[in-house]
Chain A
Amino acid sequence: MDLGEINPVLLLASLMVAATPLLLAAIGELVVEKAGVLNLGVEGMMIVGAISGFAISVETGSPWLGFIAAAIGGAVLSLLFVLLTQVALANQVASGLALTLFGLGFSALLGQSYVGVKPPSMGDIHIPVISDIPVIGPILFQHDPILYVGIALTATVWAVLKYTRVGLILRAVGENHDAAHALGYKVIKIRIMAILFGGACAGLGGAYISLIRVPQWTEGMTAGVGWIALALVVFASWKPWRALLGAYLFGGITVLQLNLQAAGVAIPVEYLAMSPYIITILVLVILSADKSSAPASLGRIFHASH
Chain B
Amino acid sequence: MIVLEKRPQPSKAWSYATPLVAVLATMVCGGILFAVLGKNPVQAIGTIFWEPLFGEFAFYYRPQLLVKGAPLVLIAIGLSLGFRAGIWNIGAEGQYIMGAIFGAAAGLAFYPLDAWYVFPIMVIAGAIGGCLWAMIPAFLKVRFGTNEILVSLMLVYVAEQMLASVSLGLLKNPEGFGFPGSRNLQSYESAHNAELIAGSGMHWGVVTALIAVIFAYVLLNRHMLGFHIRLTGEAPRAAKFAGVNPARLILFCLGMSGALAGLAGMFEVSGPSGVVSIDFNVGYGFTAIIVAFLGRLHPVGILLAGGLMALTYIGGEIAQSQLGLPAAAIQVFQGMLLFFLLAFDLLTNYRIRAARREVA
Contact = CB atoms under 8 A, between A and B. Distances in A.
A101 B165 contact: no
B6 A288 contact: no
A257 to B, nearest CB: 11
B338 A281 contact: no
B247 to A, nearest CB: 15
B343 A88 contact: yes
Given A227-B153, A281-B151, A284-B151, A95 B342 contact: yes
Given A90-B346, A97-B90, A98-B342, A304 B360 contact: yes
Interface in A123-163: none
A90 B345 contact: yes
A285 interface: yes
Nearest to A272: B161
A281 B154 contact: yes
B331 A89 contact: no
Contacts of B327: 108
Contacts of B326: 108-109, 112
B338 A98 contact: yes
B184 interface: no
B56 to A, nearest CB: 28
Interface in A251-306: 268, 270-271, 273-274, 277-278, 280-281, 284-285, 288-289, 291, 303-305
Given A95-B342, A109-B328, A109-B332, A277 B4 contact: no
Given A102-B336, A274-B162, A284-B147, A88 B289 contact: no
B334 interface: yes
Contacts of B162: 270, 274
Interface in B126-159: 136, 140, 144-147, 149-151, 153-155, 157-158
Contacts of A268: 165, 169
B267 interface: no
A219 B330 CA distance: 15
Main secondary structure of the interface of A (DSSP, over half): helix
B158 A101 contact: no
A114 B289 CA distance: 29
Given A93-B149, A227-B153, A274 B161 contact: yes
A79 to B, nearest CB: 12
Interface in A61-99: 80, 83-84, 88-91, 93-95, 97-98
B320 interface: no
A257 B19 CA distance: 45
A103 B154 CA distance: 19
Contacts of A105: 328-335
B165 A271 contact: yes
A105 B328 CA distance: 5
A305 to B, nearest CB: 6
A95 B153 CA distance: 16
A108 B338 CA distance: 18
A88 B346 contact: yes
A274 B136 CA distance: 16
Contact of A305 (B6, B136, B158, B346): B6
A222 to B, nearest CB: 12
A32 to B, nearest CB: 16
Given A98-B335, A98-B338, A303-B6, A88 B154 contact: no
Contact of B149 (A40, A106, A303): A40
Contacts of B284: none
A173 interface: no
A223 interface: yes
B144 A83 contact: no
Given A88-B345, A278-B158, A281-B151, A102 B338 contact: yes
Interface residues of B, number: 50
B287 to A, nearest CB: 8
Contacts of B140: 281, 284-285, 288
A101 B338 contact: yes
B75 to A, nearest CB: 14
B146 A90 contact: no
Contacts of A274: 157-158, 161-162
B147 A89 contact: no
B286 interface: yes
B342 A277 contact: no
A234 interface: yes
B154 A224 contact: yes
Nearest to A184: B360
B49 interface: no
A117 B136 CA distance: 41
Contacts of B164: 270
Nearest to A181: B360
B235 to A, nearest CB: 15
Given A88-B345, A270-B162, A303-B4, A102 B150 contact: no
B290 interface: yes
A289 B144 contact: yes
B60 interface: no
Contacts of B344: 88
Contacts of A219: 328
A273 B161 contact: yes
B150 A284 contact: yes
Nearest to A290: B145
Given A105-B328, A108-B331, 4 more contacts: A108-B327, A270-B162, A270-B168, A285-B144
Interface of A: 40, 80, 83-84, 88-91, 93-95, 97-98, 101-106, 108-109, 112, 219, 223-224, 227-228, 230-231, 234, 268, 270-271, 273-274, 277-278, 280-281, 284-285, 288-289, 291, 303-305
